[in-house]
Structures are given as structure tokens and as C-alpha cells.
Amino acid sequence: MRRNVRVAARRTSVSLEVAIWDALADICAREEMAIDAVCDAVESRRNSDSLASSLRTFSLLYFRLSTSRWEKAAARPGNGSVSDGPQHGFPTIFEEALSRFESARAVQGDHGDDQSPAP
């Protein structure tokens, strides 16, 4: 599915699978951000991959981190929880996912491989 987004103050179209658009919509809702802001944040950190590929990778990293935090919270005494609302505190899931995305892109640029760091 192709959609128009604004990245770096210019309009561009991105083709992604419906499931990825749904995942990005979930991220936007959780973080209280517009899709353009998410795309702009990913665009500013991507290396040579396409924006579409970068958005796929970022959404996977985001939800892996979210799941990891949920599992850790559930294992704590008192059965703590992680809300579905915007993440406050440092670093947020969004910021950590962007950081890991950026790190993975830097490694690819240095070594030319497609290995992503584990969460």
C-alpha cells in the first residue's frame, strides 16, 4: 500500500505492507506522534537503505523492545506493567528503538553486512 508522508519538509510516497502501516499507526498512537514525525525521525537516522526498508526495520525494533520491557515488568515482584500510552522516562521505547536502528545502520555502513544488534 502506497501512502504520502512528509519527510524533511517534502512530500514523498512510501510503499509498505498493510501490516507495517498498522504497526506504524500503533507506534504513533502509543507515542502520541504524527506519522510524518515518525518517518522524519527514521529518515534522519537511516543509512543507505530505502525509507520503506528503514521503516520496516524500525517498527520491528520498536515492538521487540516493547515486548522485552513488558516481559521484564511482568517478571518483577508485584507484577509491574508497561502501559500502552506514550512512554515517559529515559530512554523511551521510541528513543531506544531509534538509537538501535541508527547503530545497526552504522554497523552496516562500516561492514556492509545486514546484522542487527540484539535487543
The structural domains of the chain, ordered by start, are: 2-111 (1.10.3990)
3-class DSSP state of 1? coil
Is the pLDDT at 106 greater than 80, yes or no?
no
pLDDT, tens digit (0-9, with 9 covering 90-100), for 20-68 = 999 999 999 999 999 999 999 999 999 889 999 999 999 999 999 998 8
Give pTM, 2 decimals: 0.71
How far apart are alpha carbons 64 and 8 in whole angstroms? 27
